[in-house]
Structure 1
Amino acid sequence: LSWNGTLQFGGAHQFTLQSPAFTLDDKGIQVSWAGLQADGGGNINDHSYQIKLRAPKLEAGGPDPVSGEQGKALLENIQLAVEGRRSASGLNIGSGSMEVGKFHITDPSKKGEVELNQFGYTYQVKENGQFVDLALAYKIAGIVAGAEKKTYGPALLELGIGHLHAPTLLAFDKSMKGIMCAKPEQKQAMAGEMIGQWKQLSTELLRNKPELQLKQVRFSSPDGELQAKGRISIDGFEPAMLETPQTAMAALPGILQVEFAGQIPEKFLMSSLRGFALSSARRQMMQEGGGEIDAGQMQTLQEGAEQDARQKIGLALAQNYIKQDGDKLSIDFKFGKGQASLNGAPFDLPFLPQSAQAPSAQIGADPAQPGTPPSQQ
């Protein structure tokens, strides 16, 4: 392992870190590492930094403990990048990413292979006036799995937390560092004070209208593409609302706002429900019969699983939990100011006090009326 770096009198610094390639073969276990290189730098004055790491290949193999067959795993083109600086508010902001060009694994015990292409994550912490926004994304360009080598992807998950009060976050950071750096005998004495301080800081964060965001979910399969997005926000919070669990539950409907919309191919949902039903039925039959399932029994189980899946989707459509949109099934849920709607129709949320819900959001006693939860029927 070698490191080479320089530090300038003006505060700037840079470095290079290298790890040599090596191979290992011991008792049937093989490991091949193609080396690593990291480059970085920054400036002490503004607490800025940049790091980039690259590893071309890691390959490993070994025998299956049961069958003795050789299994293999391969990682190619591993990259890591991080950059950041100290913001005007005193918080560390910046961005980073990690990506693996290819991950391939052969599992001899299951007679299958799995390959993931261009997968990894990115994150970003950015300042917006007195507030901080956080963004996190996971992505996979493609997945190849199974003996049939079915292809899935791309897949994407984007999350965010918005409108976090920067001065309050900084106070949280200082509080955490204070207790982490304290001597062991001091930590217990500080615990009670810290809990009270964190409660006060938490209420300050809630007062500044934070928002949890499901920016985007996308997943492609041979049966079509699944999509979803949503958000949860709080508007109008006051510390007095947290005096007791009862006051919190009573206040929640008035300050909570929720939106969620999703779409899934009907064929994809049918396949998933059918698979779950078939797996459960097979397990139960094997436990009761104590033997292998013959072709006739399997046919019966498959027909039952198909019928079970169709019944579940049909019931969800009849109750307006989902709606038909061509060859896709979709859902659209909204909640705000005590009123909820599902797919455009008023929807009763049984866990909220009836007094907290506006009359337009309350469903009548008719059990057949769309939007009535099963718990009310």
Structure 2
Amino acid sequence: MLENKKIALFITGGIASYKMAEFTRQLIKKGAQVRVVMSKSAQEFITPLTLQILTKHYVLVDTFDEHDPTSVQHIELADWCDLAIVAPATANILAKMANGLADDIVSSVLLAVHCPRLLVPAMNTNMYDNPATQRNLKQLAEDGYEVMEPDTGFLAEGYEGKGRLPELERIVERAELLMARTSLPQVLSGKRVLVTAGGTVERIDPVRYISNDSSGKMGYAMARVASWLGADVQLVSTNRALATPLGVAVQYVESAQEMQAAVTSEFAQLDYVVKAAAVSDYRVRNARGHKMKKAETGSETTIELVENPDILAGLGAMKEHQIVIGFAAETQNLLEYAQAKLQKKNADWIIANDVSEAGAGFNVETNRVTIIGKENLIKELKHMSKLDTALAVWKTITGIE
């Protein structure tokens, strides 16, 4: 979402300024073009040269350092950027912005910026809690700025409090969400979307289980992009290790029966259901309440299995206005099996992939899928990241591509 986007990064004078070199690298790795503006106090923590080398752009540090006679630098930059990020945003710059002051290079450019703006406050907790700061933040939110809450944790002053700069990955994700919601058609605005993700777990006993290799990453990508497109998204997941996407509510489950209950209880209010989870076909008939010991079972043992509910088929039978999207992870006869699944489950779409193919299976960051819809629609996507795959899938389903 940040690829080829022009980002102006405004660094002001807090201890978290030193993190902005790595933050700049993360933006560039996402494919963004980055230009930096620094306040005088920010230069006490990190040098302009560092940011210049990373961005390959001259760093603006003085309102009157007009090195290019063909333009007015603070207006040129304001017109150039697609996104403005102020990080760390100190109490001082927040006060200036809330009151329309332009007495240095940072505040002057920001007053002229007319693209989406993300503020990332970071300061001592007492400064953050000050009524004046809170009043300024409220005013800035009312003026259309996107304000990210600081984290609570160990501060530079040596004690716990609210005011820490959020983790850099989360700031990048917030920037992506802001850009998506201002640049992509909000075709899912007002829609409720539920996505299932991960491999279900069927207990043998408290320490052993039957499952599969699904990580849930594709489901998380589908949930994240649905949020990008404006949806109210709920994620039903079996994997607690993955970070919950911004703008998405998560409910954790373990077994197929728990997942079925979570999905069906919400189904009547939903507009879209994305069944990306890999549901175990079978569960143990009589799971043990304690760890099985060899002394109980001997050298051989038999575990009796019973069939799990077919969640996708159940939804297909229940649907009224809902759009039901299933996934088919196959290792052979991909199109044949996926098309049969579309009909048998009464789904609206099947997203099929060959999990035996390198870079398109479980526990990887990429995928290559074929989108299958009714009326013989078949669309093969190229090999790409799971996030890009999810965006392409949603564009096809919603008809915006």
Band of TM-score, shorter chain: under 0.3
Whose strand proportion is higher, 1 or 2? 1
The two structures have a TM-score, normalised by structure 1, of 0.25
Greater C-alpha radius of gyration? 1
Whose helix proportion is higher, 1 or 2? 2
The two structures have a TM-score, normalised by structure 2, of 0.24
